[in-house]
Amino acid sequence: MSKPDVLAVAKLHPFYQKALESVYTVHDRTHITDPAAFAALAPRIVGVAGTGEASVPRSLLAQVSNAKVVSVFGVGYDGVDVAAAIEHGIPVTHTPDVLTDDVADLAMGLVLSVGRTIPQADQFVRAGQWPSGPIALGRKVSGARLGIVGLGRIGKAIAQRASGFGMSIAYTARSAKTDSGFKFFATPAELAANVDFLVVITPGGAGTKHLINADVLKALGPRGFLINVARGSVVDEEALIAALQNGTIAGAGLDVFANEPNVPEVLWTMNNVVLTPHMASATHETRQAMADLAFANMQAGTSGQPLRTPVPECAALLK
Ligand code: NAP
Ligand code: 8YV
């Protein structure tokens, strides 16, 4: 008997790909590589598999309208047109919680990296520069002021870690979290003006586009550092580059970019930035847990079982 067909809309992690292949025939980006063949295939597609960065537009959802689920390998799903998916009766799932620790760990790693110039110090030693002079002094992290833009699952886990470093914590979000015990600022600019490290960890998409703009960077100031582990779209990348070049801010730690995997070359040469390739959830343990959950959602969706982790917009409808 032939296996049911699913469409992978992005290059999937091997853990997820392998699990899917045990049950389904996985069509790898056929909608892009061979649109004519895909037009014939589309009505047979029972599920769509994606990543946190993948694009699932309205036009594609219309083609795969017999699909039973869109299962995203990632907590962010800003590339999926959820409204269109709901109109077609296709629920969307994601992988919250299982990656929270890793992303919070990397956020703190970037705080420490930019403050204590760890990657630059590594290069300093490797380049044989140690004998000819001490390395420039860094910025003390313990006891510094941390601002979190987005106090959700990951934002709270960052706050928990930062508390261990004796940092004072403030945040902004769409609404104040009265039970958090942290100081709330209504806007990113007000928060930025009152912290040393500003960590961005909101969803991407239209609601947060360029939330961090030139005004916020100006408020962060020449001794302030920006950390972005959210989505490239949340930060105005041109304004950020200008702020780094002009000394408007002290430096930045960036895991996400506006046009991944393309990182503006001007950033490659700057000594006050630390760059990582969208790897906040990239550990063996977490990628396995994400694959298990994404696969479980795909199987549940395609067999009419309750979904493990539908996105909030769909969870409300499924109740
Ligand atoms: P979450 O629990 O839904 O938290 C999101 C937080 O962002 C909430 O506190 C929310 O505020 C806040 N927020 C949303 N829109 C906002 C706005 N316009 N202004 C200010 N705050 C806003 O999500 P999570 O699990 O923490 O994940 C957050 C995001 O991290 C994901 O969506 C994804 O984009 C990113 N991420 C990146 C990586 C990576 O590899 N770099 C990995 C995983 C996740 P309210 O609470 O007031 O609604
Ligand atoms: C990616 C992420 O999904 O969960 C998210 O929102 O951005 C990441 O975990 C991961 O890089 C796989 O594409």
Report the separation in Å between the CA atom of 65 and the middle of ligand 2, taken as the mean of its atom positions.
25
- pLDDT digits over 261-309, tens only? 999 999 999 999 999 999 999 999 999 999 999 999 999 999 999 999 9
- pLDDT digits over 16-52, tens only? 999 999 999 999 999 999 999 999 999 999 999 999 9
* Ligand 2 pocket member 53 (CB < 6 A): yes
Query: Counting atoms of ligand 2 from 1, which one is nearest the CA of 53?
Result: 13
Inform me whether the pLDDT recorded for 319 exceeds 90.
Answer: no
pLDDT at 133: 81
Per-chain mean pLDDT for the chain: 97
Q: Whose CA is closest to 217, among 229, 225, 209?
A: 225
pLDDT at 74: 98
* Ligand 1 pocket member 188 (CB < 6 A): no
Cα–Cα separations (whole angstroms), residue 277 to 89, 95, 254: 35, 20, 8
Q: Which of 13, 278, 287, 308 is catalytic?
A: 278
pLDDT at 1: 75
Residue 134 pLDDT class (50, 70, 90 cuts): very high
* Ligand 1 pocket member 231 (CB < 6 A): yes
Q: Which ligand has the minimum distance to the alpha carbon of residue 189?
A: 1
Report the separation in Å between the CA atom of 174 and the middle of ligand 1, taken as the mean of its atom positions.
10
- pLDDT digits over 93-108, tens only? 999 999 999 999 999 9
Inform me whether the pLDDT recorded for 316 exceeds 90.
Answer: no
Report the separation in Å between the CA atom of 99 and the middle of ligand 2, taken as the mean of its atom positions.
9
Q: Which ligand has the minimum distance to the alpha carbon of residue 171?
A: 1
pLDDT at 291: 98
Q: What is the distance between the alpha carbons of residues 257 and 107, in angstroms, rounded to a whole number?
A: 15
Known catalytic residue at 31: no
Inform me whether the pLDDT recorded for 256 exceeds 80.
Answer: yes
Report the separation in Å between the CA atom of 69 and the middle of ligand 2, taken as the mean of its atom positions.
18
Q: Which of 231, 237, 287, 308 is catalytic?
A: 231
**118-142 per-residue burial string, b: 16 or more CB within 10 A, e: under 16:** ebbbeebeeeeeeeeeeeeeebebe
- pLDDT digits over 155-202, tens only? 999 999 999 999 999 999 999 999 999 999 999 999 999 999 999 999
45: which residues sit within 8 A by CB, 6+ positions away? 5, 6, 7, 27, 64, 66, 67
Residue 260 pLDDT class (50, 70, 90 cuts): very high
Known catalytic residue at 94: no
Cα–Cα separations (whole angstroms), residue 308 to 223, 299, 312: 44, 10, 12
- pLDDT digits over 229-241, tens only? 999 999 999 999 9
pLDDT at 92: 98
- pLDDT digits over 206-236, tens only? 999 999 999 999 999 999 999 999 999 999 9
Residue 317 pLDDT class (50, 70, 90 cuts): confident
Q: Whose CA is closest to 110, among 74, 162, 149?
A: 162
Known catalytic residue at 58: no
Q: What is the distance between the alpha carbons of residues 141 and 113, in angstroms, rounded to a whole number?
A: 10
Cα–Cα separations (whole angstroms), residue 220 to 95, 145, 186, 225: 32, 11, 15, 7
Q: How many CA atoms lie within 13 Å of 235's alpha carbon, on the beta-carbon side?
A: 28
83: exposed, middle or buried (Cβ count in 10 Å: 0-12, 13-18, 19+): exposed
Q: What is the distance between the alpha carbons of residues 315 and 319, in angstroms, rounded to a whole number?
A: 6
pLDDT at 33: 94
Distance of CA 298 to the CA centre of its chain: 21
Q: What is the distance between the alpha carbons of residues 138 and 155, in angstroms, rounded to a whole number?
A: 25
Give, for ligand 2, the residue of 12, 75, 93 to mutate: max count of ligand atoms closer than 8 Å to Cβ. Answer: 75
Q: How many CA atoms lie within 13 Å of 61's alpha carbon, on the beta-carbon side?
A: 23
- The answer to whether 274 and 114 are in contact (CB under 8 A) is yes
Query: Counting atoms of ligand 1 from 1, which one is nearest the CA of 201?
Result: 30
Name the one residue in this structure whose structure tokens are 């790693």: 109
